[in-house]
Amino acid sequence: MDLVRRCAQRKKSMLETEELVAAVTDLLDLRSLTRGIGVTEAEFASTLRAIQEFAESDVGGEMATKRQRLKRSMRGLPVVVGKYLGLSDSGHVIIPANLPLD
């Protein structure tokens, strides 16, 4: 019974993560958004929630400018959530899972 419950919870969390990926991809107009090597499912989901919350917040002033810059700078890029900030050989932008958004 415990195995069935864990399997159902895992499937539910995977669906939630897929929905977050779709929402953030549409919100920032990304080409793709994937989880990198060494990043857990929980870290990936947490990073996606933080990005979504930051991009959808309605705080004005300097934060509004930062949101607009984020949206413009990431438009059309393939993004990977990884351990470190960088660029891959395949052209993906790698952002850290602990990305500071403040």
Residue range 47-78, pLDDT digits in tens:
999 988 888 877 677 777 877 887 888 899 99
Range of the domain at 92: 2-96
Determine the Cα–Cα distance for residues 102 and 95; give it in Å rounded to an integer. Answer: 15
Is residue 102 situated within a structural domain?
no
Please give the radius of gyration of the chain, using alpha carbons only, rounded to the nearest integer: 15
Determine the Cα–Cα distance for residues 96 and 84; give it in Å rounded to an integer. Answer: 5
Is residue 16 situated within a structural domain?
yes
Is residue 80 situated within a structural domain?
yes
Strand order from edge to edge, sheet including 78-82: 32-35, 78-82, 93-96, 86-87
- Structural domain count, the chain: 1
Instruction: Give the chain's mean pLDDT.
Output: 87
Is residue 11 situated within a structural domain?
yes
E-assigned strand segments in 58-98: 78-82, 86-87, 93-96
Is residue 101 situated within a structural domain?
no
Residue range 2-16, pLDDT digits in tens:
888 888 888 888 899
